[in-house]
Structure 1
Amino acid sequence: MRVFLKAISYLFHPIFIPIAGCISYFLITPKYSPPEIRNPILLPVFILTVIIPIITFFILKNIGLASNIFVPQLRERKYPLYINLILLFLVVYKVIFNNFIAELHFYFLGLIAASMTTLLLLFFKLKVSMHLMGMGSLFMFLVCLSIHFEKNITIAVSLVTLASGLVATSRLYLKAHSKPELLIGFFIGMISQLITIRYWL
C-alpha cells in the first residue's frame, strides 16, 4: 500500500498540472487545433513547467536547499514556489501571449494566483498541500471547460475527482499533511480558477 500511495504522489505531482491543463484543453475544445497551434504551446509549457523544475530540484538538493522532491519542510518550500512563479509568468507572457488562447491564459493566471496564495501562507507557518492545490485547479478548469464548450466530460471530471481523493489519501498516509492543509490546498486551487473564469466563460 505504501508503494502504491507513494507512486500516486509522484504521478500527480503539482509540476504536471500545467501541462495536464493544456492537454485537457486541446482534447476538449471543439475549435480546430492543428499541430501548428498545439506544438508551440505544449512543448514550451512542458519544458518550462516539468523539465526545468526537475533540473532545478536537483540543483537545490545538491546545495542543501531541498531534501526530497516533496520538499516537506517549511523552509524548503519557498524556493520551489519562487521558481514556479517565475516559470508560470514566463509561460503567460512568452508562450501563451504569443499564441493567445483565452482559456489557457486565464488558467495559468489562476495557477499563479494559487501559487502566490500558497507562498503567502508559508509566511504564516501554514504548509498548504501543493498536490491538492494542483488537483483543485485542474478539477475546476475541467468543469469550466465542460460548461464553456457545452460538452459532457463527466468521465474526465470523475477521474480527476477520484485522483484527488487518492492524492489526499496518499498525503495523509505518508504523513505529509494534515486534513486542514489538504482541504485548504484544494480550495485554493478551485477558488483561483473560479476567480478567473468570469473573463472567459
Structure 2
Amino acid sequence: METRLTADDGIELKEITVEDYRPKNTVLRVIAIVLSYIFHPLFIPVYIIWLLLNTQAYMFAQFTPAEKAIALVRFFIIYSFFPLVTVLLAKGLGFLKSVYLKTQKERIIPYIASNLYYFWMCYVLRHQPDFPKEAVYLSMAIFIASCAGLMANIYMKVSMHTMGMGIMLGFTGMMAMGEATNYTIYFSISLLIAGLVSSARMIVSDHTPREIYTGLLIGVLSMAAAVWADGILP
C-alpha cells in the first residue's frame, strides 16, 4: 500500500491510500529491469532491421556486406544515437529532471526531436529504391507511432517500451502473412518478448495498465497505417 495526495471537489488536498499491485520480489524486479534495458525502444528498430538483413538476404541482394553494415549503422545512428544524445543534452541543459522521462512534460522535447529524425529517415528510405519496401514500412511506422505518442502524451504517459513492442509485433506479423520465408516463428517470439516486456514495465515502472496497452495498440496500428499510407503516397 502507498499514500498519495489528491485534490477533492473542494480543491483541498487530502491523503488517500492506493494499493500498489507491483510485486516486491527482488529477483523479479532485477529481471524486469534487465528486460527493460535490453528491449529499450531506442534499440528495437536496430533489432528489427538486423533481423531483416539476416533472414531476408534476397531483399538486399544488391547490397555488399559493407553496405549492409552501413545500413545497420544508419539505423543505429538515427533511432538510437541521436535520440539518446538529445535526451542527454536536454538533461544537461536543465530541460529535463531525469533521463528516464518520468513525467509527460519531460517527454515533449524528446518526442518532437525524435519526430524530426524519424521523418528524415522515412523520407530518405522512400527515395532510395535499393531499400526494400519492408524497411520503408518500418521507418514510416516508427514515425507514425512517435507522432501518435506525442498526441497521446497530452492525456496519458503512454509506455514507449510497449510502443516499440507493438511495432515489432506489427512488423513480424506483416512478414509472417506476406513472406514465403516462414516468419511465424519470429512472430511467436515477438509475442513472447512483448508479453515479457509489458509485464516488466508493470513491475518496475509507474505506468498504469491502460498506458501499457495503449502503447501496444499504437505500435501495431502504426505499422498497419504505414503499409496503407505507402500505397497512397506518391
TM-score (norm 2): 0.77
1:59-97 deviation digits (Å, cap 9, x = unpaired) = 122122233343110100111111211111121223563
- Partner residue in 2 for 1:16: 43
What number of residue pairs does the alignment pair up?
199
Instruction: Provide the C-alpha distance between the structure 1 equivalents of 2:174 and 2:55, rounded to a whole number of angstroms.
Output: 11
1:108 to 120, 127, 139: 139
Does residue 183 in structure 1 map to residue 213 in structure 2?
yes
Report the AA paired with residue 154 of structure 1: T
RMSD: 1.9
Structure whose residues are more often strand by fraction: 2
Q: How does 1:12-91 map to 2 (within 5 A)?
A: 12-31=39-58, 32=61, 33-91=63-121
Does residue 195 in structure 1 map to residue 196 in structure 2?
no
Per the TM alignment, residue 41 of structure 1 is displaced from its structure 2 partner at its CA by 1.9
> Which stretch shifts more, 131-140 or 11-20?
11-20
Give the number of the structure with larger relative contact order, counting CA–CA contacts within 8 Å between residues 6 or more apart. 1
Structure with greater Cα Rg? 2
Unaligned 5+ segments in structure 1 are none
Per the TM alignment, residue 192 of structure 1 is displaced from its structure 2 partner at its CA by 0.9
Per the TM alignment, residue 116 of structure 1 is displaced from its structure 2 partner at its CA by 0.5
- Partner residue in 2 for 1:130: 160
**1:37 to 1:97, Cα distance in 2 relative to 1, 3 A:** farther
Q: Is the 1:15–1:49 Cα contact (8 Å) retained in structure 2? A: yes
Unaligned 5+ segments in structure 2 are 1-27
Structure whose residues are more often helix by fraction: 1
Instruction: Provide the C-alpha distance between the structure 2 equivalents of 1:30 and 1:145, rounded to a whole number of angstroms.
Output: 14
Instruction: Provide the C-alpha distance between the structure 1 equivalents of 2:51 and 2:139, rounded to a whole number of angstroms.
Output: 13
Quick one: percent identity of the two aligned structures?
A: 27
Report the AA paired with residue 194 of structure 1: A
